[in-house]
């Protein structure tokens, strides 16, 4: 399967071959051991190790001493230039998306929630807490507050999959028109780390979001998202000169 007459080194050919299979969904259950690759492709162990090293540097596999090589979980990428849906981004990767509903009901607004949603303290708000999954692993923990007057019907919806904004449109006839988001890296401890099954020495993203329907704030959300399964992408038109500001 490898062309020994090609000027391309065998390890590079093996990288291309394995990369193609990985991106095609192969090795979901088991990535071959070095010995298995050596036998199958009739190459040296050094060639196999060099190929696997490159695949690891590309983030396609994870190599661990004493545990062998495994397929790296896919990274969910989110654009920064517009409103996005985590559920849609997960499904776009070909991964099963679902949510475990930890809480869903009405409760009085706290002072912070009232301020964000522009309602009175103690006013009736809808609170929804979900643990979001990408495949078998949790990827995010969301807590959302919405004014009950506009979004009360959301509690009649199936919250176990999909994004809230599709459900808002279907059950409440509300379509998001704008909003803002604040993102910062955080190091989680204790309950939060266990809830997300976050590996040690891996940080997370803390995301605060406020969205509007017209000039009415309709959802205030606090999310924690695993830093090893999620990345943010910013794009700008070609030829755009970046603005550089000094910090003093």
| Domain pair 10-71 / 76-233, same fold | no
Percentage of residues of the chain with pLDDT beyond 70: 88
Q: What is the DSSP string of 32-66?
A: PPHHHHHHHHT--HHHHHHHHHHHHHTTSEEEETT
- Euclidean distance between the first and the last CA atom of the chain, given in angstroms as a whole number: 59
Indicate the pairing of strand 230-233 with strand 178-186.
Answer: unpaired
Instruction: Give per-residue pLDDT as tens, 100-126.
Output: 999 999 999 999 999 999 999 999 999
- CATH architecture, range 76-233: 3-Layer(aba) Sandwich (3.40)
Considering the four listed CATH numbers 1.20.1560.10, 1.10.10.10, 2.40.50.70, 3.40.50.1100, the one that applies to the domain covering 10-71 is 1.10.10.10
pLDDT tens profile 193-239: 999 988 878 899 999 999 999 999 999 999 999 988 877 777 776 66
Band of pLDDT at residue 248, cut at 50, 70 and 90 = very low
User: Residue 50 corresponds to which tokens in the numbers above?
Assistant: 């060099």
pLDDT digits (tens, 9 = 90+) for 62-77: 777 777 787 767 666 6
User: Strand, coil or helix: what is 204?
Assistant: strand
Residue ranges covered by each domain of the chain: 10-71, 76-233
Report residue 111 CA to chain centroid gap.
30
Over the chain, what is the mean pLDDT? 86
């Amino acid at each position: 399967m490898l062309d020994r007459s090609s000027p391309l080194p065998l390890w590079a050919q093996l990288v291309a071959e394995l990369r193609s299979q990985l991106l095609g969904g192969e090795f979901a259950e088991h990535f071959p051991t070095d010995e298995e690759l050596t036998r199958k492709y009739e190459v040296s162990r050094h060639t196999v190790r060099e190929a696997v090293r490159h695949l690891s540097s590309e983030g396609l596999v994870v190599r661990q001493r004493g545990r062998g090589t495994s397929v790296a979980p896919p990274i969910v990428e989110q654009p920064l230039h517009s409103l996005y849906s985590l559920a849609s981004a997960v499904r776009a990767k070909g991964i099963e998306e679902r949510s475990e509903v930890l809480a869903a009901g009405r409760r009085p607004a706290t002072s912070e929630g009232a301020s964000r949603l522009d309602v009175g303290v103690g006013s009736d708000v809808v609170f929804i807490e979900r643990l979001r999954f990408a495949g078998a692993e949790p990827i995010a923990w969301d807590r959302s507050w919405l004014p009950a007057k506009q979004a009360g019907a959301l509690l009649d919806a199936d919250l176990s999959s999909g994004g809230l904004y599709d459900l808002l449109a279907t059950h409440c006839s509300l379509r998001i028109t704008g909003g803002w988001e604040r993102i910062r890296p955080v190091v989680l401890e204790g309950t939060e780390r266990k809830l997300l099954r976050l590996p040690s020495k891996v940080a997370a993203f803390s995301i605060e979001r406020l969205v509007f329907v017209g000039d009415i704030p309709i959802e205030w959300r606090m999310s924690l998202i695993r830093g090893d399964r999620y990345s943010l992408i910013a794009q700008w038109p070609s030829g755009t000169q970046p603005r550089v500001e000094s910090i003093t």
